[in-house]
Amino acid sequence: MSFRVQSVVFPVAGLGTRFLPATKVSPKEMLPIVNKPLIQYAVEEALSAGAEKLVFVTSPSKRAIEQHFQTNVELESALSNSGNKKMLTLVQNIVPSSVECVFVQQEVPLGLGHAVLCARAVVGEAPFFVHLADDLIRSDTPCLKQMQQHYARHHSSVLAVEAVPNDRTASYGIVSVEKEPSGVQRIDKIIEKPEPEEAPSNLAVVGRYLLTPAIFEQLEGRGPGAGGEIQLTDGIAGVLRHEPVHALLFEGTRYDCGSRLGYLKATVEYGLHNEEVGARFQKYLKELTKKI
């Protein structure tokens, strides 16, 4: 049987400044798309890839995420008393009991690379996923599962990538790749948020990484990079000097829910696919577009 990646790291300690004041008290990962918070979509994707350990790297002031994955006795007894079985089942099954949830504190927000390093002791010496919940991906096969399948064949780190417009490179980690005879795209360069004239291509890393533990050695003691933060990208640049790191052009549509426009697009599209309200929402949108 092929090796299955067990741990998924969710860095959720960011400040979510682009969504203030909504994120003043509630973390951006708790913003809902229709009726589920972003972090729950993230967890469902991880579970569908067979993950058994969910590691949330959070900040001391962000209790809501932890609470979302804990039992809420008061709510459950209220739903039970009112006979609302449907909602009771829903809140009781957010995470199966066989799955371990671990909360690690990132005391100071020093960057994504630092957040991943905070999970080192919990992840141990095995390959693991990093999932950024504000990149929401809608696909037939969940993106992490596509990456798991790639790992089963090639046993290397793999990053999900997509082509972005040339003038958007400064918002992403950008890679250049070499195509191997097997068809696999091996990354030969990765740079965090380069200006278009410095970008080695327009292939951007989206928020899904499958990394070997070699990343920890590369992040340990690393100083700040782009934006004054300890960057995961810089750690990966170190890894690819010693081990293959692949790029995977995943199947699916990504919504950048860290931006207002991306968040609105996701809300509309997930709304259209929603079992309960999708058909009525579509009718409403059709009428609305006639007026605008």
Query: Across 90-228, where does the E strand assignment appear?
Result: 100-105, 128-131, 135-138, 157-163, 173-179, 185-192, 203-211
Of 33, 130, 199, 205, the residue at the interface with ligand G1P (CB under 6 A) is 205
CB of 217 to ligand G1P, least distance (A): 19
Distance separating alpha carbons of residues 288 and 196, to the nearest angstrom: 37
The percent helix, strand, coil of the chain (3-state, each to 5) is: 40, 25, 35
Query: Across 106-194, where does the E strand assignment appear?
Result: 128-131, 135-138, 157-163, 173-179, 185-192
The residue assigned the tokens 């059709």 is 286
Nearer residue to ligand G1P within complex by CB, 255 or 270: 255
CB of 232 to ligand G1P, least distance (A): 6
Helices (H) and strands (E) in the chain, counts: 11, 13
Nearer residue to ligand G1P within complex by CB, 37 or 258: 258
For residue 172, state whether it binds ligand G1P (rule: CB under 6 A).
yes
For residue 173, state whether it binds ligand G1P (rule: CB under 6 A).
yes
Scan residues 218-237 and list those touching ligand G1P (CB under 6 A): 231-233
Nearer residue to ligand G1P within complex by CB, 7 or 256: 256
The residue assigned the tokens 């009726």 is 35
Whole-angstrom CA distances from 175 to 10, 11, 155, 163, 194 are 22, 21, 20, 10, 10
**How many residues of this chain interact with ligand G1P, rule: CB under 6 A?**
14
For residue 112, state whether it binds ligand G1P (rule: CB under 6 A).
yes
Nearer residue to ligand G1P within complex by CB, 142 or 173: 173
The residue of the chain with the least Cβ separation from ligand G1P equals: 173
Of 127, 207, 225, 235, the residue at the interface with ligand G1P (CB under 6 A) is 207
* Residue 168 CB partners (closer than 8 Å, separation 6+): 202, 204
Distance separating alpha carbons of residues 197 and 195, to the nearest angstrom: 6
Nearer residue to ligand G1P within complex by CB, 212 or 233: 233
Of 65, 137, 164, 206, the residue at the interface with ligand G1P (CB under 6 A) is 206
Of 132, 147, 175, 215, the residue at the interface with ligand G1P (CB under 6 A) is 132
Of 9, 42, 204, 211, the residue at the interface with ligand G1P (CB under 6 A) is 204
The contact set with ligand G1P (CB under 6 A) reads 112, 132, 135, 172-173, 192, 204-207, 231-233, 258
